[in-house]
Structure 1
Amino acid sequence: MGAVFSVLWSWFSPNSKVVQVKAMTFSEEQDLGPEADVADATTGLTLRHRTAIVRTWDLVRPDLKEHGVNFFLRLFQDAPIIQTRFKGFVGLTEDELRTNKRLVAHGTTVLMAITSMVDNIDDVSVLVELLKNTGANHNTRGIPKDDFALLFPVLLNYLKDNLGSAWTPLAEEGWKQACKVIHAVIISSYDTP
């Protein structure tokens, strides 16, 4: 009998970073079969990790627009150099950024890309192609590959701070491993002609 907890359905008011919740219960220790703790040879993720990643992302998925803006505000706060990569965002205050349609669109696009990655977490070949495309697109636009090393810790902290009790040790472990893989594939695409 594993840890049963309430999973939070989040919403954000434009001026609040507080997450409110609608309860949904499940157990991390549910029977996922004999392969639940066998790590995938390519990603290092177990079925239990992949399930935790999907379940936690399902809490973000209903409001990608708000989460996208809030994630980028956090990213710009924690890694200010990233804000300078966007000509249209340089010098804007947090309040100006919060209502900036370009930031809303970009934040939504980035979270939709993460959604595609989560949706293909069990199909490694598709996942790798999505990641290679992400890397190639950023490389073409002149975004330094080192920026991705700044992004992933912020993503993990953002999820931790916004998912409440749904951010379990298993979810954190799965997301950390997933971010390592995502980072490695994206970076490798910079080195491939």
Structure 2
Amino acid sequence: MSLLNYMKTFITGSSQKRDNKSTVIRSNNNETSITFDPQKPPPEISEQDVEILKDCWKIVQQDVAKVGVITFVGLFETHPEVHEAFMSFRAVNTSELEYNAILRAHALRVMGTVDKCIYRLDNRDKLRELMTELGIRHKNYSVKIEFIDLMGPQFISSIKPHLEAMWTEEHEKAWENLFRLMCYYMRKGMCSI
């Protein structure tokens, strides 16, 4: 099952049990879909991944605003429930979002966070602090923890066309690893309050 289909199934048919130590999300057939245990060590990113990410990011930065908007519009098209979570542009039709200044500003902030994370891979403590604080802020905005994992796959599908000439399986893995790490710390922040 593809990650996108997995996440669709996960979002549309799940029940949740949460406490401050872990998050367990179960599907309707009572199988565990996702388990988050903040006591487990964070996901690893290799030095090769870091090199790939920095090289790719130099290219993506040239169209960073466009990539950000495409990421969010795609996310809202595939997961309308996420669109509903955004008070600022909840009433805006998805087809009009591409031109929405509030969405564009939010997309640029998210792209700025990706930028900071890439350059903080050389100082993982700063990356941890950034993403944990972001998780706390998102919890205060009442963002559902299961929405956090949707951004990575959508971001990757948005940058692929910009990197088509150089894209390999290693590139895919590097970006997946980055978003796993970012999401790990963000979920950790969300579970801490």
Band of TM-score, shorter chain: 0.7 to 0.9
Structure 1 unaligned regions, length at least 5: 1-40
Cα shift readout 1:69-110 (whole Å, capped 9, x = no counterpart):
111111111221111111232242344211111011111111
CA distance in 1, matches of 2:123, 2:97: 36
Task: Provide the residue aligned with 2:109 in structure 1.
Answer: 109
CA distance in 2, matches of 1:94, 1:143: 19
Asked whether 1:191 is paired with 2:188, we answer no
Task: Provide the residue aligned with 2:179 in structure 1.
Answer: 179
* Letter paired with 2:155: L
CA distance in 1, matches of 2:138, 2:42: 24
Task: Indicate if the aligned counterparts of 2:132 and 2:185 stay in contact, CA closer than 8 A.
Answer: yes
Task: Provide the residue aligned with 2:159 in structure 1.
Answer: 159
**If the length of structure 2 is used for normalisation, what is the TM-score?**
0.73
Could you say which structure has the higher strand fraction?
A: 2
Percent identity for Structure 1 against Structure 2: 21
Name the CA shift for 1:43/1:175 in 2 (closer, same or farther; >3 Å).
same
The offset of 1:190, in angstroms, is: 1.3
Question: Which has the larger displacement, 159-168 or 144-153?
Answer: 159-168
CA distance in 2, matches of 1:94, 1:174: 30
CA distance in 1, matches of 2:164, 2:126: 30
Q: Secondary structure at the match of 1:165?
A: coil
Task: Provide the residue aligned with 1:60 in structure 2.
Answer: 60
Asked whether 1:73 is paired with 2:73, we answer yes
User: Number of aligned pairs?
Assistant: 153
Structure 2 unaligned regions, length at least 5: 1-40
Q: Over the residues paired in the alignment, what is the CA RMSD in angstroms?
A: 1.7
Task: Indicate if the aligned counterparts of 2:67 and 2:159 stay in contact, CA closer than 8 A.
Answer: no
* Letter paired with 2:98: R
CA distance in 2, matches of 1:182, 1:63: 22
* Letter paired with 1:159: I
Q: Map 1:112-131 onto structure 2 (within 5 A).
A: 112-131=112-131
**If the length of structure 1 is used for normalisation, what is the TM-score?**
0.73
CA distance in 2, matches of 1:138, 1:99: 24
Cα shift readout 1:3-55 (whole Å, capped 9, x = no counterpart):
xxxxxxxxxxxxxxxxxxxxxxxxxxxxxxxxxxxxxx954222111100111
Could you say which structure has the higher helix fraction?
A: 2
